[in-house]
């Protein structure tokens, strides 16, 4: 009986933005009103972080603190509107620029966000959250060298920070992807229009499941006993498969099976990334191939935030599912275009993710051959 020689295909690691909107990355300050008690001083004094300030700066500090809860619950537009007022009242309060930058980034307004974060950095170069957030925004924009430099500045200034090891792992991973040619940093700076697909960009990292394996048999194990799992994640993962199937215009298809032993793709949920190749990742796909192409694979989706304080939103889960399914259908590499689901980094913005026209063209072309 012939033994199928399966080899594991290399799959590039998704560089997760560690800075997408949690408490640790936001700025809150201590503010108080000191009311004089002596007979001669019955007026109010305002303090921010223990320093005497004007009433306007105090008000800005209050807005800054109120913005933390709004940003954490994704009420980003409200937060930005309020913080723009605070910025007028207290243009030198670095925390206002930090939270405003994060809010703008979450709304997808990355260039304005970078401006605010660079202002915060100039006002106070020793705020770890400014460097983390700025690095994340550069990363999610495809400005990989700026991201590496900003993260490295963070690690150098704050080697004892609780996220220092994760950030260092991220820097190492980004540098490796650059060295391996997975990331082409110069591409995003060119003004030329990118190709309408990325088959050429991926080269031999794009592999097609053989025709006799279609439809691909997919088993999705519900994560009922996995901490952080929500029943709707099952539907979200199914929708990710449907999105790629539709984009292929009938050339790629899936069928759901209940028994993992019958499945080509075994999908599960986990709250433990310790078995992942890179622990700064929100999902992991393994794909095994014989000489004909991929024939078996596994997808694991992480049900808990990578950094304890970061909320794991449904949009983030949707993005991870689309991305990992993209790997599972044969894309072993990443693109340099932040619009693509197969871009090398997750996003700071929290919008509903869709396959880009390039994602759609590429899957259609790969399976039309
Ligand atoms: Zn990836």
Give the pLDDT score at 43: 63
Rounded to the nearest whole angstrom, what is the distance from the C-alpha of residue 31 to the centroid of ligand 1?
A: 43
Highest mean pLDDT among 195-199, 242-246, 308-312, 340-344: 242-246
Q: Does 16 score more than 80 pLDDT? A: no
pLDDT of amino acid 308: 55
Count CB-CB contacts under 10 A for residue 23: 16
Distance of CA 44 from the midpoint of ligand 1 (Å): 55
pTM: 0.75
**Cα-to-centroid distance, 232 and ligand 1 (Å):** 23
Give the rounded distance of the alpha carbon of 78 from its chain centre. 22
Query: What is the arithmetic mean of pLDDT over 122-131?
Result: 91
The b-or-e profile of 274-291 (16+ CB within 10 A means b, else e) is eebebebbbbbbbbbbee
What is the Å distance from ligand 1's center to 12 Cα? Answer: 5
Domains of the chain with CATH codes: 7-15+194-368 (3.40.390.10), 23-162 (1.25.40.10)
pLDDT for 203 equals 86
Residue pair 29/95 in contact (Cβ under 8 Å)? The answer is yes
* 324 Cα to the center of ligand 1, angstroms: 6
- Which of 7-16, 35-44, 259-268 is most confident? 259-268
Q: What is the pLDDT of residue 206?
A: 92
Centre of ligand 1 to C-alpha 323, Å, is: 6
Task: Tell me the CA–centroid distance for residue 1 and ligand 1, in Å.
Answer: 36
The mean pLDDT value for 341-369 works out to 89
Lowest-pLDDT choice from 157-171, 220-234, 299-313 = 299-313
In the structure, ligand 1 is a single-atom ion and the residues with CB under 5 Å from it are 14
Tokens describing residue 198: 């990325």
Determine the distance separating the centroid of ligand 1 and the alpha carbon of 344, expressed in angstroms.
6
| Pick from 93, 106, 44, 34: nearest CA to 64 | 93
Tokens of 159: 């080697």
The residue-averaged pLDDT of 106-117 equals: 91
Output the six-digit token pair for 309: 């304080």
Q: Which pLDDT belongs to residue 188?
A: 46
Ligand 1 mean position, distance from CA 345 (Å): 8
- Write phi, then psi, for 168 (nearest 5 degrees): -65, -40
Q: What is the mean pLDDT of residues 126-134?
A: 89
Write the pLDDT tens digit of every residue in 214-265.
999 999 999 999 999 999 999 999 999 999 999 999 899 999 999 999 999 9
- Which tokens go with 123? 């006002």
Q: How far is the CA of 329 from the centre of ligand 1 (A)?
A: 12
What pLDDT is stored for residue 312 in this prediction?
82
H-helix or E-strand spanning residue 249: none
User: Edge-to-edge strand order for the sheet containing 51-53?
Assistant: 31-35, 44-48, 51-53
Hey, is 312 helix, strand or coil? coil
CA distance 216 to 211: 10
Do residues 128 and 154 touch, judged by C-beta distance below 8 A? yes
* Strand arrangement, sheet containing 216-220: 7-9, 283-290, 293-302, 265-270, 216-220, 254-256
How much distance in Å is there from the Cα of 360 to the middle of ligand 1?
17
How remote is the CA of residue 285 from the centroid of ligand 1, in Å?
A: 8
Q: Output the CA 91–ligand 1 centroid distance in Å.
A: 39
Span 194-206, average pLDDT: 86
pLDDT of residue 8: 72
The proportion of the chain whose per-residue pLDDT surpasses 90, expressed as a percent, equals 45
Computed over every residue of the chain, the mean pLDDT equals: 84
Supply the pLDDT for residue 192.
60
Which pLDDT tens digit goes with each residue over 69-106?
Answer: 888 788 899 999 999 999 999 999 999 999 999 899 88
Instruction: Give the pLDDT band (50/70/90) at residue 24.
Output: very low
Question: What confidence score (pLDDT) does residue 89 get?
Answer: 93
Is the link from the previous residue into 215 a cis peptide, with omega within 30 of 0?
yes
């Amino acid at each position: 009986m012939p033994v199928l020689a399966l080899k594991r295909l290399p799959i590039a690691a998704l560089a997760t933005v560690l800075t997408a909107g949690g408490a640790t990355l936001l700025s809150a300050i201590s503010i108080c009103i000191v009311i004089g008690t002596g007979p001669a001083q019955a007026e109010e004094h305002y303090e921010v972080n223990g320093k005497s300030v004007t009433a306007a700066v105090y008000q800005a500090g209050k807005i800054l603190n109120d913005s933390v809860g709004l940003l954490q619950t994704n009420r980003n537009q409200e937060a930005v509107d309020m913080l723009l007022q605070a910025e007028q009242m207290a243009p030198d309060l670095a925390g206002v620029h930090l939270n405003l930058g994060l809010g703008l980034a979450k709304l997808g307004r990355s260039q304005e966000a970078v401006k605010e974060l660079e202002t915060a950095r100039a006002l106070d170069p020793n705020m770890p959250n400014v460097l983390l957030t700025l690095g994340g925004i550069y990363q999610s924009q495809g400005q990989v060298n700026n991201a590496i430099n900003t993260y490295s500045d963070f690690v150098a200034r704050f080697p004892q920070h609780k996220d220092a090891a994760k950030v260092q792992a991220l820097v190492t991973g980004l540098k490796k992807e650059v060295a391996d040619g997975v990331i082409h940093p110069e591409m995003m700076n060119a003004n030329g229009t990118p190709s309408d697909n990325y088959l050429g960009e991926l080269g031999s990292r794009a592999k097609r499941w053989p025709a006799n394996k279609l439809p691909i048999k997919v088993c999705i194990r519900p994560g009922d006993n996995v901490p952080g799992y929500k029943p709707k994640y099952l539907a979200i993962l199914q929708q990710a498969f449907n999105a790629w199937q539709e984009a292929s215009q009938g050339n790629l298809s899936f069928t759901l099976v209940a028994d993992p032993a019958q499945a080509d793709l075994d999908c599960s949920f986990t709250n433990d990334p310790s078995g992942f190749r890179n622990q700064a990742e929100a999902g992991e796909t393994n794909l095994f191939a014989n000489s004909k192409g991929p024939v078996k694979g596994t997808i694991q989706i992480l049900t808990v935030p990578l950094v304890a304080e970061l909320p794991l939103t449904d949009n983030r889960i949707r993005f991870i599912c689309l991305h990992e399914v993209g790997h599972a259908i044969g894309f072993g590499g990443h693109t340099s275009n932040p619009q693509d689901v197969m871009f090398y980094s997750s996003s700071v913005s929290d919008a509903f993710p869709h396959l880009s026209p390039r994602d759609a063209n590429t899957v259609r072309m790969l399976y039309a051959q």
